[in-house]
Structure 1
Amino acid sequence: MEAAPAFEVVDLVVRYGKVTAVAGVSVDSPPGRITALLGPNGAGKSSLLGVLSTASRPDAGRVRIFGHDVDAAPMAARRRLGLVFQERTLDKELSVERNLWFHARLFGMTRSDARSRIALLLGLFDLADRRRQPVEQLSGGLSRRLEIARALLHRPGLIILDEPTNGLDPSARSTVWTDLLRLRTELGVTVLYSTHYMDEAEYADEIVILQQGSVVRRGSPEELKDGLDSSRILVSCADPADHGTAEQQLRAAGFSTLSEAGGLAVHCAEPETRIAEVVRVLDVPGLTVSVRHPSLNDVYLAAAGQESASPR
């Protein structure tokens, strides 16, 4: 039999009074995939995760975790979930190990199972030598690693993280992402996370971009970037006064140009094959010519201009 999706959201609607935070969103993932929710504050990311995590109920639509409906069977769904919230939720006065034991009791794990699982995760996240250290003495990055370890303690198939690196320095952010990528490769865990960092969205197998509660883009990073017709050759002159001359020469040769920060952009498919042609028609001193392909930031800016949802 085909495995149930790790999560499945169908026509989800979430309202707060007269405000619709999530407006008919549908999204899903097979087991073992990493999915990023990308969007500005107020786009509906946290509201969507709130329903998926069983913390809140939908106003309409259906949400399932490994086939368990979060509304009809919240406890069954919750046992398949590991949660890492944006706000820190560890008990700072307890040790690293005691925080994990407390979580194990909440999920009814046997003492022998909890002991072996705690030892495994402390080793996996390089926390074994800190097991008796109070959480209040940990750095932000180590605290986040402990929260991820705690979320995995009861063997969930899906881990949900809301802005997992919020407030961390670049080094700690990099370490957290090393840990998260290992979850799929070493433990087979499905990962769903929200972020507003473009570089963090690049880690995902699939990106879902939300705007005003609706899905406006969905696909792999490569698919989303390939969907933009914005590959270009960038032409920059040492003397900005020469840009006008360069533009005249390019247009006389049949190229369409647009002004861009620092120079001129010649938009064309496969710009690498035409860069020599562009250089040949230019007779301007101090030229710099380079190729630029669409970035995820370009995708995001294009999506921000959409007023209606258009799931792919």
Structure 2
Amino acid sequence: MTPESPAPARLAIDSLTKRYGARTAIDGLSLRLAPGAFVALLGPNGAGKSTLFQVLTGLFAADAGDVQVNGLSLRQRPAAALRHIGVVFQQMSLDLDLSVERNLRFHADLHGLPRALAADRIAAGVNGAGLAADLQRPVRELSGGNRRKVELVRALLHQPALLLMDEPTVGLDPKSRRDLLATVRADMAARASSVLWATHLVEEAAQADRVLVLHQGRLLADGTPAEVSQALGGDSLENGFIRATSATGAVNAAGTTRSAPRTQPGDPAP
């Protein structure tokens, strides 16, 4: 890339499809995330959000299409592409019996960070998250909100270009939600990292710069919260979202009506 060339998209998805037998969980999905984008992936339960994240993190292989992370193909160069991703999964993935520091050092070692650099980033991360006093405590002694903070510090240690947040605030109190969002926003401002924040909570999506509405594996709307509300025919994002995911028709942000995919036998309820 020359100095005049634009930075690659933090995430580029082209015609991505993932099936489970006869059921299509992700159906020809395409989207782009520019550097510094905070994007909410809004969808009801069963929309395909978790399946998408499992494909993006290499846990599942797509049946068709391609994913590029920071210009690197996940299909052709998986290890290189995955190095540019940080993840906070819906289910907690810390070792409860290890201290906060040992959890973080283990992650730093997996990414090959030199010990001195890892120590500096761990110190900066826990200080920024208000966890410095808990560094030597076993994770199981922490509250749910502080465990989530540790997971976010861990996800950012290798300074990924793309941060994936899969329903990260489930079970958290309002202050912990606010703190988590503030840490993510601070990292974006400092490094022009991009965030894909999966949620089924409309109030979280309303705080994003851009909202993607996913339903039955297809993208129904894409735009600012206000644009999506208008495109989905609601007087608010919540009403538009309910209308779009409950009706047989869907409207994209360009105002074009299209039929929502039919539910196949064995599909989970949305």
SS in 2 for 1:136: helix
The equivalent residue for 1:295 is 236
In the alignment, structure 1 residue 60 sits paired with structure 2 residue 1: no
In the alignment, structure 1 residue 120 sits paired with structure 2 residue 61: no
How big is each residue's C-alpha offset from its partner over 1:186-240, in whole Å with a ceiling of 9 and x where there is no partner?
Answer: 343211111011110012111110111111111111212343666xxxxxxxxxx
The equivalent residue for 2:39 is 35
The equivalent residue for 1:46 is 50
Change (3 A) 1:52 1:208: same
Quick check: 1:14–1:60 contact (8 Å CA) kept in 2? yes
Q: Which amino acid aligns with 1:91?
A: D
In the alignment, structure 1 residue 7 sits paired with structure 2 residue 11: yes
In the alignment, structure 1 residue 23 sits paired with structure 2 residue 1: no
Separation (CA, whole Å) in 2 of partners of 1:9 and 1:229: 27
Separation (CA, whole Å) in 2 of partners of 1:219 and 1:142: 32
Structure 1 residues 1-312: aligned runs within 5 Å:
1-227=5-231, 294-304=235-245, 305-307=247-249, 310=252, 312=254
What's the RMSD between the two structures over aligned residues? 1.6
**Gaps in structure 1 of 5+ consecutive residues:** 231-293
Total equivalences in the alignment? 249
How big is each residue's C-alpha offset from its partner over 1:102-127, in whole Å with a ceiling of 9 and x where there is no partner?
Answer: 11111111111111111111111111
SS in 2 for 1:178: helix
**Gaps in structure 2 of 5+ consecutive residues:** 255-270
Q: Which amino acid aligns with 1:200?
A: E
Residue 71 of structure 1: how far off its partner (Å): 1.2
- Greater RCO, 1 or 2 (C-alpha within 8 Å, sep 6+): 2
Residue 302 of structure 1: how far off its partner (Å): 2.8
Quick check: 1:206–1:218 contact (8 Å CA) kept in 2? yes
Which segment drifts farther, 184-193 or 2-11?
184-193
TM-score, normalised via structure 1 length: 0.76
Separation (CA, whole Å) in 1 of partners of 2:25 and 2:253: 17
Residue 309 of structure 1: how far off its partner (Å): 7.3
Separation (CA, whole Å) in 2 of partners of 1:209 and 1:148: 24
SS in 1 for 2:119: helix
TM-score, normalised via structure 2 length: 0.88
SS in 2 for 1:14: strand
Residue 46 of structure 1: how far off its partner (Å): 0.9
Quick check: 1:216–1:306 contact (8 Å CA) kept in 2? no
Quick check: 1:215–1:309 contact (8 Å CA) kept in 2? no
For the pair shown, the structure with the greater C-alpha radius of gyration is 1
SS in 2 for 1:191: strand
Quick check: 1:64–1:70 contact (8 Å CA) kept in 2? yes
Separation (CA, whole Å) in 2 of partners of 1:228 and 1:101: 45
Quick check: 2:228–2:253 contact (8 Å CA) kept in 1? no
Change (3 A) 1:229 1:211: closer
